[in-house]
Amino acid sequence: MNKFREGGWHILLLLICLVLLLPVVFMISNSFKTLQDSYHSMLQIIPLHPTFSNYTTLGRQIDLLRLIWNTFFMAAIVTLGKLITGLFAAYAFKYFSFKGKKWIYLIFVSTIFVPFTVIMIPNYLVISKINLLNTAPGVALPQMCDATGIMLFLKAMDKIPKSLIESLKIDGISSHMILKDIIIPILRPSIISIGAIFFINSWNEYVWPTLILKDKSSFTLPLALQNYISSEGGTNFPLAMALSTIMIIVPLFIYLIFQRYILNSISNSGLK
Amino acid sequence: MGSEIALELKKVTKKFKGTNVISEMDLKIKNGEFLVLLGPSGCGKSTTLRMMAGLEKPSDGQIMIAGKDSQKISSVERNIAMVFQDYALYPNMTVYQNLEYALKIHKVEKEERKRRLEKILETLNLAAYRDRLPGQLSGGQKQRVALGRGMAKKSSIFLLDEPLSNIDVQLREKARDEIQNLHEKNQQTIVYVTHDQLEAMALGDRIAIINEGKIQMIDTPDNIYNHPANLFVAQFVGTPQMNILEVNYQKEMLTLNERPLFFNTEHLKNMELSEGNLYLGIRPEHIIVKRKQEISLELPARVDQVIDYGRYQQLTLNIGKRQTIKAIITNNEFKNDDLVYVLLSEKRALFFDHASKKNVDA
Amino acid sequence: MNSSGSKNKFLTIAYLSPTAVILLVFMVIPILYTLYLSFFDWNLISPTKNFVGLENYTSIFTDSVNRKVLLNTIVYILLLLILNFIIPYFISLIVKFFINKMKNSYKIIFFIPSLFSLVVGAMLFSWIMNPISGPVAFLMRHFGVALPNWTNSSAMAIVMLCLITNWKVFGYNFVLLLTGLGSIPQNIIDATKIDSIPRWKMVRDIVLPLNKSIAFYVLILTIVQGLQYVFTPISVITQGGPYYGSSNIFYHTYLNAFVLYKTGNASALAVITFLVFLILLYLEMKFVEGRMGNCE
């Protein structure tokens, strides 16, 4: 009786898996089909006449290496920036006491909820004023800190016994040394997983880069992909899917390696 | 006859990841009995209790509740109450709601609920806290609410999982007495898990000593203490531990390190010991310590350590060959490095087989 | 003592300053500047700004397009709450309490779409739901039904755009909610089993009340992030059409600022959004007490 009911739930859950994953499976499969096949045998998962032509066409139309480099470079700057500022801030919140700490923390954390429209116009003006339009630093600079990161680092630091840090302080070890030689090595798994999350988010980012990156040579992958989607119909889907497939390889690969850590960090971000 | 057994385990085995946590355990608990499961942590006593509660399924064997296979009856029919170690009170409900919740779900009449709960609140001295949330209660109060929640169900079997371990030491004895009083009043069948032997001795009609997934001995507190079935039980129960000495029995003479201890006495003959090595166990309080040797059987020893507990003294005595024994005495007259003579009370000595470690008298 | 005190003060400032400077320059000052801009008529480029007082604000509530966009935003919020909050919550309850096997596998699989860009999601859905050449239309044709051109209908477009964000956010919210459920002590769940409480009643009476703080966090996140997430598929697929029918307050702000160059209107819309979010933030702080916990 109970077994039977559990079976019913599994059917529902497997169905959800299918709905979530099938689009991606079809995307990869269609990226290896000709335009004709993608229409006439669209539900065929193994292509009838497998072809790389979409990828070679993409290679002719756009500078793929440059796109990948632009995306990677931007994501790398953002990730590094967020990790450094986050670690420093979390360190200060965790191990130093100062006036107004609670309020400063509250303000930092509230920024998670600030809608981007309320800051986009002035930020755009600033970036254009300092001549960073069409550059990766221009995209990266305003998002160099992330309160989620601070929260996650604080949570990770909970696992380091306070007495350990206190005993180091008593031994006269400087704060920088403690951070460099004790905290960062202990937190390495958290740093990697939090960094992975930052990197994936930045790799996929669309809204802010569309404002800053207007010149095609500065485009990142999501912007290039958007150029292949026509709202009027007539999108060449196999081509768009080939570009998407290239785009998802990196996040998928990172997830494959760090899946457990990433899910742990996501879980932590929700907990008090 | 069968109805006298409230709960029975038949060859119950529980495996976790391939290793046996409980192996082929047999156990019968009579109606109205207070049984304590006692053992070191990780011995499987909590797992046993959780299987009785139906929270875990045995990998093999059967658990019978009032003669019925517990796997085949619903949890309502099982009619078991349980108090968890950290009480597991519903944090979002007041004391009264905690007690009332299960009754409400099982459609006990409102008037009846009220009647039952008022009585329980009264008995447990909780009436003043009825509208508090668990977070606003002390450990002892939470424990009483947890007890009350079990009582409210009027269950036939009450399971308690180390209910006193989270209470301050000062209050523990009082809480223990409360549980005892309740049992005397209601004569409910109780299975009580603890690792505290004093608690076990004070509460249990019978105590089951569990180690490595097996019942080592199940008997009254008196028998457990005075007639332990094997070396494990002998050493596990009693503080300081029972002294265990490896001795040799040959030609009606018992020797320790080739010195005679007892020989040719009635008592020894009655034991019908087999010749060879065996273990002698003697409790610290059954050792007599003297300044002067009166008979040649008294062992010379040196006092290594004296701990004064006020009411009594605990001596650590070096009897040579790096062997020490502990003795409890009440006259405060020895100091470190005193040379003394030790007499083991022969009638109190226990003997354990060298190979099986079982009490030869059992 | 004194010197170490001032040294600590210096170090604190040193560690906090990178975050503080970036937040000040790219968050605090911009918010104030947006507020300032909302009182002017400007086109983002011209050297002069005309002070117009509250005109930009009054136009939000009088202009019919603006009113339509605000209404759409409410529809979006309701839909997002169902798709990205209630459904994942229900599923996380199922996975936590109603099944025993494969719990972790579902978690790993559900999360996968969260790894992908919403642009990819938008592309995929515009293929799947393409009224002419998409697989859904293809299958429906087999049964003699035609898939309507949903980009022409405001209601259908909004549903589709929400589904795209649902595809991306479902697993993420699921993981958050499942973690919350996981932090309810097992003993309390066991106690309900001992008391023979039926599982749905246990969920209603024990689990939901105990999990309400994380649930509320995800609920706020669903509204705040959801509306921003919808921006991408709107921009990629409908550009707010048909005739602002699928636009929401975020997209409309963007449109005013960077396409129509009505900076003042855009700023006023942004300020209104900000105020709504301040209210939500306040509720969050109030509800989810202890979020401060881990910094003393």
Q: Provide the sign of the torsion angle of the four alpha carbons A257, A263, A264, A269, taken in this order.
A: positive
Between chains, do A175 and C11 touch, taking CB under 8 Å as contact?
Answer: yes
Task: Please provide the DSSP assignment of A1-63 as one string.
Answer: -HHHHHHHHHHHHHHHHHHHHHHHHHHHHHTTS-HHHHHHTTT-SS-SS---HHHHHHHHHS-
- φ, ψ of residue C68 in degrees (nearest 5): -60, -45
Residue of higher predicted confidence among A3 and B201: B201
Q: Is the pLDDT of residue B167 over 70?
A: yes
C-alpha distances out from residue B328 to B313, B324, B334, B338, Å: 6, 13, 12, 16
Q: Do C101 and A10 touch (CB under 8 A)?
A: yes
Residues of chain B with CATH 2.40.50.140: 243-353
Which residues in B lie closer than 8 A to residue C188 (C-beta atoms)? 88-91
For residue B355, the model assigns a pLDDT of 87
Task: Specify the pLDDT at position C4.
Answer: 62
pLDDT bucket at C2, cuts 50 / 70 / 90 = very low
Name the residue with tokens 């972790």: C104
Smallest CA–CA distance from C23 into chain A, residue? A145
Nearest alpha carbon to residue A37 among A27, A47, A22: A47
- Residues B338 and C176: their CA atoms lie apart, in Å, by 69
Give the per-residue pLDDT at A254: 95
Helix (H, G, I), strand (E, B) or coil at A225: helix
pLDDT band at residue B266, thresholds of 50, 70 and 90?
A: confident
A108 in contact with C, Cβ within 8 Å: yes
Cβ pairs bridging B and C (under 8 Å) = 57
Closest residue of C to B85, CA-based? C187
Q: What is the pLDDT of residues C36-94, one digit of tens each?
A: 999 999 988 888 888 998 989 998 888 889 999 999 999 999 999 999 999 999 999 99
A219 at C interface, C-beta within 8 A: no
Using CB atoms, which residue from B81, B84, B106 is nearest to C190?
Answer: B84
pLDDT at B18: 83
Of the CATH numbers 1.20.1630.10, 3.20.20.410, 3.40.50.300, 3.30.465.10, which one belongs to the domain with range B2-236? 3.40.50.300
**B55, B75, B84 ranked by CB distance to C196: nearest:** B75
* pLDDT for the residue C296: 40
For the cut 50, the answer to whether the pLDDT of residue C295 exceeds it is no
> For the segment C119-128, what is each residue's pLDDT rounded down to a tens digit?
999 999 999 9
CB contacts of C205 in chain B (<8 Å) are 90, 101
The pLDDT tens digits of the residues spanning B194-212 come to 999 989 999 999 999 999 8
- Under the banding of pLDDT at 50, 70 and 90, the label for residue A140 is very high
Residues 40-69 on A with a CB inside 8 Å of C are 42-43
Would you state the pLDDT for residue B230?
Answer: 92
C288 pLDDT band (50/70/90 cuts)?
Answer: low
Contact C190 B91 (CB under 8 A): no
Backbone angles phi, psi at B42, to 5 degrees: 85, 10
Domains and CATH numbers, chain A: 1-61 (no CATH), 62-270 (1.10.3720.10)
Residue type, A74: M
Model confidence band, residue A169 (pLDDT cutoffs 50, 70, 90):
confident
**Region of poorest pLDDT, from A200-204, B176-180, C254-258:** B176-180
Specify the domain boundaries for CATH 3.40.50.300 within chain B. 2-236
* Amino acid C291: pLDDT: 46
ipTM of predicted assembly, 2 dp:
0.92
From residue A75, alpha-carbon distances to A210, A257, C10 in Å are 15, 18, 31
Distances (CA, A) of C161 to B48, C144, C238: 54, 26, 9
Which of helix, strand or coil describes residue C35?
helix
- A206 vs C118: CB contact, 8 Å cut-off? yes
Choosing among A26, A118, A254, which should be mutated to test the C contact, i.e. which has the most C CBs within 10 A?
A118
Q: Do C191 and B90 touch (CB under 8 A)?
A: yes
Contact of A24 with chain C, judged by CB distance below 8 Å, is answered with yes
Query: Is pLDDT at A55 greater than 60 in this prediction?
Result: yes
Asked if pLDDT for residue A131 goes beyond 70, the answer is yes
Residues of chain C contacting residue B91, judged by C-beta atoms under 8 Å apart: 188, 210
Q: Which residues of C touch A233 (CB under 8 A)?
A: 130, 132
Q: Do A6 and C293 touch (CB under 8 A)?
A: no
Tell me if chain C has a CB within 8 Å of the CB of A159. Answer: no
- pLDDT value of residue B3: 55
Give the number of beta-carbon pairs within 8 Å between A and C: 300
Average pLDDT over chain B, rounded to an integer: 88
Residue with structure tokens 């479902």? C170
Most confident by average pLDDT, A105-114, A163-172, A180-189, C142-151: A180-189
Over range B226-251, report the average pLDDT. Answer: 89
Sheet-wide strand order for B214-219: B80-83, B157-161, B189-194, B34-38, B206-211, B214-219
- Look at residues A180, A272, A147 and name the one whose alpha carbon lies nearest to residue C20: A147
Between residues C87 and B320, the one the model is more confident about: C87
Interchain touch B–C (≥3 Cβ pairs closer than 8 Å) = yes
Q: Which residue in C has a C-alpha nearest to residue A40's C-alpha?
A: C133
Rounded to a whole number, what is the distance in Å from the CA of A87 to chain C's nearest CA?
9
Average pLDDT, chain A: 90
- Tell me which H or E stretch contains B353: strand B350-353
CA distances (Å), C50 to each of A176, C137, C161, C163, C255, in order?
A: 51, 51, 37, 42, 20
For range A250-271, the mean pLDDT: 88
Taking an 8 Å cut-off on Cβ atoms, the answer to whether C210 and B91 are in contact is yes
Quick one: C64-295 is in which CATH superfamily?
MetI-like (1.10.3720.10)
Statement: residue C213 has pLDDT above 50: yes
- Residue in C closest to B102 by C-alpha: C195
| Residue A84 confidence (pLDDT) above 90 | yes
pLDDT digits (tens, 9 = 90+) for C94-125: 999 999 889 999 999 999 999 999 999 999 99
How many C-beta atoms surround the C-beta of residue C18 within 10 A? 18
Give how far B78 is from chain C: nearest CA, Å.
9
**Per-residue model confidence as pLDDT tens digits over B27-82:** 999 999 999 999 988 888 989 999 999 888 899 999 998 888 888 888 888 888 99
**Of the partner residues B84, B105, B153, the one whose CB lies closest to the CB of residue C201:** B105
CATH superfamily of B243-353: Nucleic acid-binding proteins (2.40.50.140)
| Chain B and chain A touch, per 3+ beta carbon pairs within 8 A | no
* Average pLDDT over every residue of B297-313: 88
Q: Check residue C259 and give its pLDDT.
A: 92
Query: Is the sign of the CA dihedral B85, B89, B90, B92 positive or negative?
Result: negative
Q: What is the pLDDT of residue C293?
A: 42
Do C95 and A13 lie within an 8 Å CB cutoff? yes
Cβ-Cβ contacts under 8 Å, A125 against chain C: 44
The answer on pLDDT for C26 being more than 80 is: yes
Chain C contact set for A27 (CB, 8 A): 120, 124
Judged against a pLDDT cut of 60, whether residue C289 lies above it is answered with: no
pLDDT of residue A1: 44
pLDDT, chain C, mean: 89
Split at pLDDT 50, 70, 90, the class of B1 is very low
pLDDT at B113 over 70: yes
